[in-house]
Amino acid sequence: MTNPTMEKFGYPSSLIKEYDHWCVLLRPAQATLGALVLVCKDQAEAFSDISKDAFSELAQVTQDIEKSLTSFQAFDKINYLMLMMVDKDVHFHVLPRYSSPQSFEDITVADPGWPALPDLSSAVTLTNEQMTALTGKLQSHWTT
């Protein structure tokens, strides 16, 4: 089952990995290279309202995210931002953090907020072709 947040972030074309209760999507606006959106598929607008099964599965999903992103492009830190101000469904913006600009093919993304708060306003918006290429690359690095 999809929800408006999944659709806003390009599901199903941006899908990296789907789990029983979560979807890992490529974030179209790359605030840092490999930025993702982790969306809960439960009908919940508060973190405390997701199912026990979703909470349980979250442990495996975050492990997979971190192993896979490290395999793709080793990060210095990783941030999980749960903002939910505009998009109400439970979700995180997952931002691998880098002390220097990172590149993949024709995409170069700096992390101007490093080492402090991420600067979401400086994100690089990907073209459809770049989305497809980066989605495929991250899928090829997925650990499960």
pTM equals 0.97
Q: Is 110 helix (H, G, I), strand (E, B) or coil?
A: coil
Over the stretch 17-63, which tens digit does the pLDDT of each residue have?
999 999 999 999 999 999 999 999 999 999 999 999 999 999 999 99
pLDDT value of residue 118: 96
Q: Backbone dihedral region of 52: left (phi > 0), alpha (psi from -120 to 50 degrees) or beta? A: alpha
Classify strands 107-109 and 91-97 as parallel, antiparallel or unpaired. Answer: unpaired
User: What are the tokens at 85?
Assistant: 């101000």
pLDDT value at 144 more than 80: no
pLDDT value of residue 115: 97
Q: Is 97 helix (H, G, I), strand (E, B) or coil?
A: strand
Q: Is 39 helix (H, G, I), strand (E, B) or coil?
A: strand
Across the chain, how many H-helices and E-strands are there?
Answer: 3, 9
pLDDT value at 1 more than 90: no
The full set of domains in the chain, from first to last, is: 4-131 (3.30.428.10)
